[in-house]
């Protein structure tokens, strides 16, 4: 359940990046750039989530690595598709 909530939070954060890309973009809002900037920010959030799982919840790094991959990749793929689609 926690993993689905974190992935959902990533999708919401991507939406916020796109919203701010539109609001602060000036005449030509660069939504593709906002989606591209989301990916490193989401990597940092995902790594912090893994760190919390290892240090606070008591999981091993080996247990958390597959979760990190899923939690990072799902919103990152959505952001990549959005950047590709919006760059056209």
Taking only the tens place, the pLDDT of each residue in 15-74 is 999 999 888 876 677 898 999 999 999 999 999 999 999 999 999 999 999 999 999 999
Q: Give me the pLDDT at residue 27, please.
A: 65
pTM to 2 decimal places: 0.90
Please list, in sequence order, all residues whose beta carbon lies within 8 angstroms of the beta carbon of residue 67, skipping any fewer than 6 positions away: 3, 50, 53
CB hemisphere CA count around 2 (13 angstroms): 9
Q: Give me the pLDDT at residue 49, please.
A: 95
CB hemisphere CA count around 6 (13 angstroms): 22
pLDDT bracket for residue 88 (50, 70, 90): confident
């Amino acid at each position: 359940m926690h993993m689905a909530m974190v992935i959902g939070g990533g999708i919401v954060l991507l939406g916020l990046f796109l919203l701010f890309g539109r609001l602060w973009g000036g005449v030509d809002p660069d939504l593709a750039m906002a989606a591209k900037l989301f990916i490193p920010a989401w990597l940092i959030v995902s790594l912090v989530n893994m760190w919390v799982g290892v240090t606070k919840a008591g999981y091993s790094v080996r247990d958390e690595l597959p979760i990190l991959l899923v939690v990072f990749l799902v919103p990152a793929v959505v952001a990549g598709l959005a950047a590709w689609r919006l760059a056209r």
